[in-house]
Copies of this chain bind each other. A is one copy, B any other.
Amino acid sequence: MYSYVPPIDDYRFLLSEVLGFDQAMAELNKDVDADLAVTVLDEAGRMCAERLAPLNREGDEHGSQLIDGAVRTPPGFAQAYRDFADAGWAALSADPDHGGQGLPFILQLWLDEMLSAANLSFGLFPGLTRGACEAIAAHASEALKAAYLTRMVSGEWTGAMALTESSAGTDLALLKTKAEPQGDGRYAVTGTKIFISSGDHDFGGNIVHLVLARLPDAPAGVKGISLFLVPKFLPGADGAFDQRNSMSVGALEKKMGIHAQPTCVMNYDGATGWLVGEAHRGLAAMFTMMNAERLMVGIQGLGIAGAAYQQAAGYAKERLQGRSADNVRAPVAIIEHADVRRMLLNIRSFVEAGRALAGWTALQHDRSQHHADAGERARADALVALLTPVVKASFTDFGFESAVQAQQVFGGHGYIREWGMEQYVRDARIAQIYEGTNGVQAADLVGRKLPLAGGAVVEGYFALIAADVEAAGGSVIARSTGTALDALRTATAALQGADTDAAGAAAVDYLRLFALVSMGWMWTRMAQAAAQGDSPLHQAKRKLADYFALRVLPQAQGLAATIAAGEASIMALEIDGF
């Protein structure tokens, strides 16, 4: 395998030449500029490449194991985690009030990209902790915050989200875990949860589970779910967290991939917990973590695609096979063959557009948190809400497809474990499923996000794209993006007021079309910026923009036609006919 090379030059280009990072930070009165950001990313990238990537293959082979009821992570993980937290990476973007460094969210997302590229199983530990911190910060009592938040933000302690049960996944209305009030502000939580990432580990420190459960007086359905903080270790009389709570790992899930990540079946046997937020309002609290997680999960697809690209491009430059196009030289490096280039360019043109779109979305996130003007905050928040399902689903779909194509570049060697390419495929696959399947994301986009502000949010977003397309004049990518945007607007209009079946029939294709247009927008902006320079990076950007325009965006036509076909042919077959 080739060493992972963090995409620092691309980050610098995006910050300085495309996304207007310095101006954006100045508007938010943030004392950080592109130079500082690049320095931080460079340092983070070194840690990912040098410490975490080398653990990835062995982590897959070894896996996390359950030994005498305790999880043992693969060799090197525990020390790497401690070093990661000690160096402050866990606290990068967290609120300084809770011990965070308060750096902008764009650095967090791009750190997530490099973490996912280097070692997805490892990256889930800090990633889930961050989601738990956000839910606690937003909803927990001051006492809970004081007791838990700082030590979680620093990475001393980790977090886990315990939502799913065997019969309650997407549909949390069906969950059965119970919480009995003990009369002293504490609750006894009882039930079994499955698919609990980072449910246990051997890094030391507390593990803070956020558990969805029902109170005795809870109404049925999703309006009767509450959120509880249930730590592995409870405070004893002297305040030290050294009392084992009544919870245990029932089993480790045997999975397709992310073998190093301990995905637990968790048993809570009257475990002591505290209510987070209001009773019966657990779903709202959960969505606080879920939304942040969904952007991160999208980035996981991006990260793996970028890593897989580097391996495939490296291999394609060295593997000798076949003849040159003019039939003169043989054997030649397979990167000379058009079909190999096609696969590599499919991946690359997604990765760089995705990286840019993630950065743009992250800047909107910071704006939604820190802008002085409430209207600007709300406007940015709505754009993040709109883009969250798009980033989650499309980045993980394209990410998986990218891993598959990168594997294909290796031919038979791609199927052999030693090369690591099949691990990318297996690891990338989970990101299309967890934190809400990609079908659920598409339903969220069509059913909840398009109607935001009566359609004004999505129209505002399209207007941003249209303005940049207009400004880019007649470039190839601007024209292609404009054409695809027209198709997207038509589809959007057709979905207004669509009933459940019509929306469900269209949703996944619609989300993909939405993502292609958004990436075309980013390529339009990148090509525009790259026209100002002539470095190898600038030249490559212009060529990649052409590739995306001519060979990726045409997919939009088929998607638009499929969406327009409607739901009748989907609903026609009776259930017994399946």
Q: Are B417 and A433 interface neighbours, CB within 8 A?
A: no
Q: Is the pair B437, A540 in contact by a Cβ cutoff of 8 Å?
A: no
List residues of chain B with CB within 8 A of the CB of A425.
256, 429
Q: How far is the CA of A121 from the CA of B191 in the complex (A)?
A: 40
Query: Do A501 and B434 touch (CB < 8 A)?
Result: no
What B residues does A400 contact at CB under 8 A? 404
Contact between chains at B426 and A408 (CB < 8 Å): no
Complex interface: stretch among A151-159, A352-360, A566-574 = A566-574
| Cβ-defined contact, B554 with A345, below 8 A | no
Given A439-B340, A577-B536, is A171 in contact with B416 using a C-beta cutoff of 8 Å? no
Partner of A558, one of B253, B407, B558: B558
Bound Cα distance A565, B256 (Å): 38
| Binary contact track A495-530/B, C-beta < 8 Å → 1, others 0 | 000011111110110000000000000000000000
From known contacts A408-B437, A573-B341, infer whether A171 and B504 are also in contact, taking CB-CB under 8 Å.
Answer: no
> Given A171-B322, A408-B438, A501-B325, are A416 and B543 also a contact pair (CB < 8 Å)?
no
Partner of A543, one of B256, B348, B501, B572: B572
Give the residue of B320, B325, B433, B505 whose beta carbon is less than 8 angstroms from that of A411.
B433
How many A residues face the partner with a CB closer than 8 A?
104
Residue positions of A touching B, CB distance < 8 A: 164, 167, 169-171, 173-174, 194-195, 221, 253-257, 313, 316-317, 320-322, 325-327, 330-331, 333, 335-345, 348, 400, 404, 407-408, 411-418, 422, 425-426, 429-430, 432-434, 437-439, 442-443, 499-505, 507-508, 536, 539-540, 543-544, 546-547, 549-551, 554-559, 561-562, 565-573, 575-578
13 A-B interface contacts by CB (under 8 A) = A167-B320, A171-B331, A255-B417, A316-B578, A339-B439, A339-B508, A400-B404, A415-B430, A543-B572, A546-B572, A554-B565, A557-B561, A558-B558
Nearest first, the 10 closest Cβ-Cβ pairs linking A and B are A338-B504, A558-B558, A554-B561, A256-B422, A550-B565, A171-B321, A325-B500, A338-B505, A547-B569, A313-B578
